[in-house]
Structure 1
Amino acid sequence: MNPVTRCSGVLAALVACLAVAACGSSSSDSDTGTSVGAVPETQTLTGKTGGSLKVIASSDVDYIDPGAAYYQFTFMISYATQRPLYSFGPDDAVDAVPDLATKAADVSSDGKTVTVEIKPNVKFSPPVDRAATSADVKYAIERGFKSTVANGYAGAYFGDLTGAKAFQDGKANNITGIETPTDTKIVFNLDRGTGGVLAGALALPLSAPVPKEYAAKFDAKNPSTYGVNQVSTGPYMIEADANGKLTGYEPGKMIKLVRNPNWDRATDYRKAYLDTINVEEGNDDTTVASRQILQGNAQINGDFGPPPPVLKQIVSSTPDQLALTPSGGIRYVSLNTSMAPFDNLNVRKAVLAAFDREAMRATRGGPLLGPIGNHFIPPGIGGFDEAGGLNGTGVDFLKYPKGNLTLAKEYMKKGGFPTGMYTGSEKLLMVGTSGGAAQKSAELAAAQFEKLGFKPKLRLVTQDAMYTKFCNTPKADVIICPNVGWLKDFSDPQTMLDPTFNGKNIVPVNNSNWPLLDNEAINSAMDKAELVVGTSARNKAWADIDRQITAQAPAIPWIWDDSPNIRSTDVAGVINKFNGNWDLSFTSLK
């Protein structure tokens, strides 16, 4: 990733223009040079200790289990309650810092060995009440390969560990490539030289320690129930009873974080100013929820941004309550390439050609929230420029942001439909998110398919259900997912393309390859690119793959997204630039 630690230039300029139009005055601070809503390069990380913060959310986390969590909102919780080997401080979206680890990982010259030293006195919350060891990290990563946990990225980033496949297939009782010579040292041995990628992935929640003697009985169930019995190593824990059973979690309703009594401030870079954090879920009307935050006390947004009319009002009236954050991500409409009619490449190209991506972007706030996407590596990530940058990869079916129906019909004819219109009578299952801007995006997307004669059957559900029950589950046979999006896992272009378009990463549960793309040439190119070392070489290799994926038209990229975050006036909010939302471990009350 390009180390941009403030609002992207495109976004900042657009916000400035809007503010000038609304207020008739300059939108920039003459002393700092920053634009309205832009997160400063260096945030104020000091704050007042104490108090309770309310996080307003529209839906639930994807998985409460940190070993399965793979959703931006869930990471917001996970990084406050768990301590992976590495994590990202608020101001750096590129370089992770040691968390449970004592220093940077040591990667061997051949990339086949990664060694990490860990801190000796980081304790689990009750009822475990002991120091975490290297064996706990080993078990945490191993459980990510268990079908009862079904981590969504273990295969992509940890799949080259010696013995990982045997363990996943039930032929071994542990991953032999993970060694724990001492309680404070862990060694990862790989069959291929992908140690640099594995080292980057150690900043994901999967590397947070899990005590086997406590968790194994929960992991033996299918699905695992460890999530609702979890223990923490971070400054906060989800409120639980004396046996570890969560009392502070009601799916779809609330999550309550309290201080972890075993957390030692001396071992952690986090500040943890707040005493309690109450996540209030189920706020479907994001207009009402946004106004509640803006007009209330001690509140921030969780899994949603303010809808376009509210966002414009904030920019013109209360810009100090807004934090616009480059997400390093993209939103797209995925097409199920394994099922008719989208197993036909020319039909997919036709859909992309017809799609009005400019109108889709308007459902989220228009140019204010980022440029229209036309490939899958976003701005600020290595490989973006090499793949074509804002101009795109050169394919004609993504040349027209407002769509080109004439071109679309030509592709339909090539796909076997002589009139240029789809003639099938079946209804295509399309699962989108209910409420707010996401629902408007889904409804508009449905209309785009109808232009070519398709008959989408739009089903609207909560955002967590859209992912976990439908789009992340191949057997659900969803044909179109209009509300999916992807953020980087760490600062490398592989994280934008490998989990999402590599056929080897299609899994039955918690699947992130939503188009179910399984293209032999692309899979092979990824296998080779995973071994490439050096920033320039990796950027080029993954940019080439980005072009290959775009040519296959597995999804409709429609915005390279920036995240609008809002807070009450009495909240000293701190953004985590890696995750693109509020950092609960640094945010405080004024």
Structure 2
Amino acid sequence: MSRSFLRFLVVSMLAVLTFVVAACGGNDNSSSSSTTKSSGGTTTNAAEAPAKKGGTFNMLAASDVDFNDPGHTYYTWGMVFTFATNRPLYSFKPDDGANPVPDLAEAAPEISADKKTVTVKIRTGVKYAPPVNRDVTSKDVKYAMERFFSVNVGGQYPGYFQPIVGSPAKPTKGVKPISGIETPDDQTIVFKLKQATGVSFAAALVMPITVPVPEEYAKPFDAKSPSTYNTHVAFTGPYMIKNDSKGSLTGYKPGKSIALVRNPNWDAKTDYRPAYLDAINVRTNATDANVAARQVIDGQSMGLDTNPPANILRDLVTKIKGQYLSVPSGGYRYFPMNTEVKPFDNINVRRAVMAGFDRDAARKARGGKYVGDIATHWLPPDFPGFKEAGGYDGFSDIDFFNKNNEKGDLAIAAKYFKAAGYASGKYEGNDEILMVGANADPGKAQAEVAQAQLEKMGFKVRLRLVPQDAVYTDWCQVPSKKVGMCGGAGWFKDFADPQSMLEPTFKGSLINRSSGNINYSMLNDPKVDDAMNKAALLEGDARLQAWADIDKMIVQDAAAIPFIWDKTTLAFSKNVNAVANPYIALWDLSYTSIK
């Protein structure tokens, strides 16, 4: 069978499926982009700034990672550590967010002429950290991808990889072999696909699912439900979380701290990362964002994981030079409404909420104009499909959500409340809405604004504030908790294609009712699912228009309120060369250095 190398810019796709990848499940840290240099308050990285090796980087974080396990993490803050300690098949250098480079792979993937076979060659000389201490093989990538589908592991983005022949439609009990993943030798892995989706499948090989996992070491941990590999990860990157002789992560204190040290088995000749730092210490319970931000700016600590609170962010951007990076995300922040929880099971109630909701007030809670443009639909600026979806104006024929009602329109809201049976033009029922939000700013302020917005429309709201990581892992991702509105969700591209922006968050067939569910709205619209299935097979302009139409369908379903097309500001002390990762638009710990 003839093969052609997939170049990182596929002309036939009109750049739709370039390997521009940026983060996944969003947090209050998220964003994305790349750029080049930063001498201070700019929108660029400092990857090319003078750097020296050595030193310990100390960071303050408002929350813990979701998971250390690369097969389970889908939270941008978790990926900060995953990409410093492990190596997926493909990844991004900080000076180029448009063209991925081979990482664990030695070259670009090969796609067959019929687009049903993708072949990847694995780099030699990549070795696991202690206690595994052996070379990585293609079989490790195969096992990593098979375990992803196990309910024990809880992989959270199955849609991109279900095209593999033999992939399970639902999570399996235990790790099961997948016939469509073949390893003819230790340096080759071959993916057989059910449909001609090789281009989009190859674009997704930048995701953590491709981080290798040694079966003989991980299998006992994966036999447990849930898997305990999360606290015994075998690392392949320049850094590792401190562990003991049995592999237990002694440097990970859940909800308290994470300590990274150099991986003694990392060979710089096999990696493009410079890995300047000797050690990285992160306190993950610095929940007073005002105090943490000022400590970083004053030099008492070196880096902040998240946007500073609105008042400090404003001063940082307008008055302080040389201590921040502003990074656009390629994503959105939003308030999902659970369509299975009363009264949000009524589409007219949801449309009323969208109409009356003051998106500008929510944006101000996060920092105003400095945190991004107010969203009028889902696909963000400078992203494939944005123009086709109405650009900044959105869909003018949808009266309950467009550019003209950014501050909310209670008259239009009243119209939809009346259509739902509430004659007063406000909600008159007795159902209490459970809203879950972060206990640290800016997420806390954002959730409080959302609570006030609902209450002005007649709702009773019970706001529960928890650590940022728990907003997802313990609440919004667990359908049985019946969260009516997630008080702070974010989504950032998995790769630069509208499929990655809309499918994980709104495809009904991907709802996971146990845990790790990403469709927070529980939207299950057969018409949307059918349109997504058809759009996934298209290319070029037809693909963009199809996903733009899906964007409109989701707005019409009123499943959630997008309020910002996001960007993030990273704050750091004067003695730090700060570098952002273009995949997740947070810290790139493998490039950051001390001056």
Question: What is the TM-score with the length of structure 2 in the denominator?
Answer: 0.91
Please provide the CA RMSD for this pair. Answer: 2.0
1:340, distance to aligned residue in structure 2 (A): 1.7
Match in the other structure for 1:173: 176
Structure 2 counterparts to residues 444-483 of structure 1, below 5 A: 444-483=449-488
Residues 1:441 and 2:441 are matched in the alignment: no
Equivalent residues of 2:151, 2:174 under 8 A apart: no
Match in the other structure for 2:221: 218
1:172, distance to aligned residue in structure 2 (A): 8.8
Match in the other structure for 1:337: 339
Amino acid at match of 2:202: A
1:38, distance to aligned residue in structure 2 (A): 2.4
Q: Secondary structure at the match of 1:164?
A: coil
Listed one character per residue, the Cα deviations across residues 109-166 of structure 1 (whole Å, up to 9, x for unaligned) are: 322111000112100111110011000000001111000111111x211011111127
1:171, distance to aligned residue in structure 2 (A): 10
C-alpha distance in 2 between matches for 1:501 and 1:171: 27
Residues 172/252 of structure 1: CA separation in 2 closer, same or farther (3 Å cut): closer
Amino acid at match of 1:148: N
Residues 1:554 and 2:559 are matched in the alignment: yes
Amino acid at match of 1:502: K
Amino acid at match of 2:352: A
Match in the other structure for 1:323: 325
**Which one of 186, 191, 196 corresponds to residue 189 of structure 2?**
186
Residues 1:128 and 2:120 are matched in the alignment: no
- What 5-or-longer segments of structure 1 have no aligned partner? 6-31
Residues 44/438 of structure 1: CA separation in 2 closer, same or farther (3 Å cut): same
Residues 1:519 and 2:525 are matched in the alignment: yes
Match in the other structure for 1:10: none
Match in the other structure for 1:227: 230
C-alpha distance in 1 between matches for 2:594 and 2:505: 38
Shifted more, 273-282 versus 157-166: the winner is 157-166
Match in the other structure for 2:24: none
Listed one character per residue, the Cα deviations across residues 523-560 of structure 1 (whole Å, up to 9, x for unaligned) are: 000011111123x3322221111111111110011111
1:297, distance to aligned residue in structure 2 (A): 5.3
Listed one character per residue, the Cα deviations across residues 14-43 of structure 1 (whole Å, up to 9, x for unaligned) are: xxxxxxxxxxxxxxxxxx999973233784
C-alpha distance in 2 between matches for 1:158 and 1:522: 20
Structure 2 counterparts to residues 269-284 of structure 1, below 5 A: 269-284=272-287
Equivalent residues of 2:125, 2:135 under 8 A apart: yes
Equivalent residues of 2:137, 2:186 under 8 A apart: yes
Equivalent residues of 1:297, 1:570 under 8 A apart: no
- The aligned length equals 561
Amino acid at match of 2:78: T
Residues 322/520 of structure 1: CA separation in 2 closer, same or farther (3 Å cut): same
C-alpha distance in 1 between matches for 2:195 and 2:342: 37
1:282, distance to aligned residue in structure 2 (A): 0.6
Match in the other structure for 2:251: 248
Residues 1:510 and 2:516 are matched in the alignment: yes
Structure 2 counterparts to residues 529-544 of structure 1, below 5 A: 529-534=535-540, 536-544=541-549
Match in the other structure for 2:582: 577
Match in the other structure for 1:11: none
**Which one of 306, 309, 320 corresponds to residue 308 of structure 2?**
306
Q: Secondary structure at the match of 1:428?
A: strand
Equivalent residues of 1:167, 1:174 under 8 A apart: no
Residues 1:589 and 2:588 are matched in the alignment: no
C-alpha distance in 1 between matches for 2:109 and 2:37: 37
Equivalent residues of 2:146, 2:175 under 8 A apart: no
More helix by share: 1
Residues 1:204 and 2:222 are matched in the alignment: no
Q: Secondary structure at the match of 2:563?
A: strand
Residues 1:420 and 2:425 are matched in the alignment: yes
Equivalent residues of 2:93, 2:100 under 8 A apart: yes
Q: Secondary structure at the match of 2:366?
A: coil
**Which one of 384, 390, 393 corresponds to residue 392 of structure 2?**
390
Amino acid at match of 2:130: P
Amino acid at match of 1:113: T
Equivalent residues of 1:393, 1:547 under 8 A apart: yes
Match in the other structure for 1:14: none
Amino acid at match of 2:154: A
**Which one of 372, 375, 378 corresponds to residue 377 of structure 2?**
375
Point out which structure has higher relative CO (alpha carbons under 8 A, 6+ apart).
2
Equivalent residues of 1:94, 1:490 under 8 A apart: no
Amino acid at match of 1:337: T
Equivalent residues of 1:61, 1:71 under 8 A apart: yes
C-alpha distance in 2 between matches for 1:35 and 1:346: 50
Match in the other structure for 1:346: 348
1:418, distance to aligned residue in structure 2 (A): 2.1
Structure 2 counterparts to residues 489-504 of structure 1, below 5 A: 489-504=494-509
Match in the other structure for 1:18: none
Residues 1:55 and 2:63 are matched in the alignment: no
Residues 309/392 of structure 1: CA separation in 2 closer, same or farther (3 Å cut): same
C-alpha distance in 1 between matches for 2:539 and 2:136: 33
C-alpha distance in 2 between matches for 1:111 and 1:37: 44
Match in the other structure for 1:115: 119
Amino acid at match of 1:319: K
C-alpha distance in 2 between matches for 1:117 and 1:589: 35
Residues 236/42 of structure 1: CA separation in 2 closer, same or farther (3 Å cut): closer
Residues 166/343 of structure 1: CA separation in 2 closer, same or farther (3 Å cut): closer
Q: Secondary structure at the match of 2:202?
A: helix
Residues 1:289 and 2:292 are matched in the alignment: yes
**Which one of 100, 111, 129 corresponds to residue 104 of structure 2?**
100
C-alpha distance in 1 between matches for 2:154 and 2:301: 36
Q: Secondary structure at the match of 1:202?
A: helix
Equivalent residues of 1:326, 1:577 under 8 A apart: no
Q: Secondary structure at the match of 1:391?
A: coil
C-alpha distance in 2 between matches for 1:212 and 1:172: 10
1:63, distance to aligned residue in structure 2 (A): 1.2
Match in the other structure for 2:550: 545
Amino acid at match of 2:399: D
- What 5-or-longer segments of structure 2 have no aligned partner? 1-14, 21-35
Q: Secondary structure at the match of 2:336?
A: strand
